[in-house]
A and B are shown apart, each in its own frame.
Chain A
Amino acid sequence: MRKIIITVVGKDTVGIIAKVCTYLANNEINILDISQTIVSGFFNMMMIVDIAGSKKPFEDVQHELDQIGDEIGVQIRCQREEIFEGMHRI
């Protein structure tokens, strides 16, 4: 398993989750958890995904999700899970 945290931040619009999920499905990236919340009026979504089964390099996934974010006017970021585990878990 190779866990990646995907975060989506921006103005809420129709189809954000659909677009991101379609991309992940097409690239054989398995979603382990999804949650969302509103912070300071902005839509915040977090996905924990496993990219171990994807043939696409992580760098390409980062880049392509970034482009999808640009198309729908939100910021999409992919980070390896260890930075969050390191900071918040002993």
Chain B
Amino acid sequence: MIYLDNAATSFPKAPGVADAVSRFITDIGANAGRSSYSTARKSSRIIYQTRKLLAKLLNADNSSNICFTMNTTQALNIALKGIVKPGFKVLTSPYEHNSVMRPLRQLESQMNISLDFIKIIDYDIDWQHLLFQLEQKPDLLILTAASNVNGYLLPYNKIARMAHKYDIPVILDAAQVLGSNPVDTADFDIICFPGHKGLLGPMGTGGLYVSDSISLQSLMPGGTGSRSSSEYQPDEMPDLLEGGTPNLPGLAGLQVSLQFIHDTGIDAIVARKLQLTSQLLQELANIDDIIIHSPIDPNLQAGVVSFTSLRYSISDLAWEFDKADIACRMGMHCAPAAHKQLGTYEQGGTLRLSPGYFNTTAEIDSVIKLLKDLHK
């Protein structure tokens, strides 16, 4: 199979990840942070070392500011529901995934918050309007780093720095960039991320970085192994946000994939992804009747390509891809807001191809050949 659905989840995983998951289950298996026998110590160290590798990637001074979750959605819900109060004014982008929009819409109806959206026209931020919006002093800015629909890489650092000038806390949804683009804790109050996409780790892993300036409450209080004599959730990070037994097999795998990313280097990973994405975009542009819905400029790309065809529906195209054993995703990509922004909502979305670090130029050639044959 040619796997081009890395925006959904990366495949294959980094070398050694599957072995680490399997080894944890067969050879270790103990819970972490509860006991001091040898395998329990190993489990505690896996969590600690994985947290430290994440801190290094995020340039965080203190790894205890990073909490593990099962995915980005859980992290975003912890962040939003821990920070938002009734009547909050929240500024966001028109490119948000439903992992941001659904909690926001829920808070809109439950807590009467109001939403405002950054204006973006043809991948250009309306900076003047953004200044005006920031001057209205929203209580929070939540922003995706890159669109999962078309790879549009928002100028997230610049926007966050502007918001901070107005003392507005900023949450970054780093789902599409962590592991392949630099993300620095210096610019954000909260960063939410998956372990199974750009970090090349197992599903069921993710997390959030929370700066010391933010005080969140636990959405899921429970056992932590610490302060066990108290019936109240510890207020110390990371235990505050980590009630219950974590996904230790997954974190054992994530530890290995993070080490792979550090050894390989973010620069090499982003270079490979952009090379494959550029190849795809350039070739697609040469096929009659294909409409590209992604930025062509590599500086605006996180490695996701969306397109439609004037000759085929996206479902027929997806069927052809399936028959050719090529993995892609068609439809709304859980991001109706982004499709409304792109003008592809009414037609039911787009077909999306998202290369990963392990794809090859030969695989992209095969995809292009299929599309050329279909559009002869």
Chains A and B come from one and the same complex: no
Footprint of A on B, CB under 8 Å? Answer: none
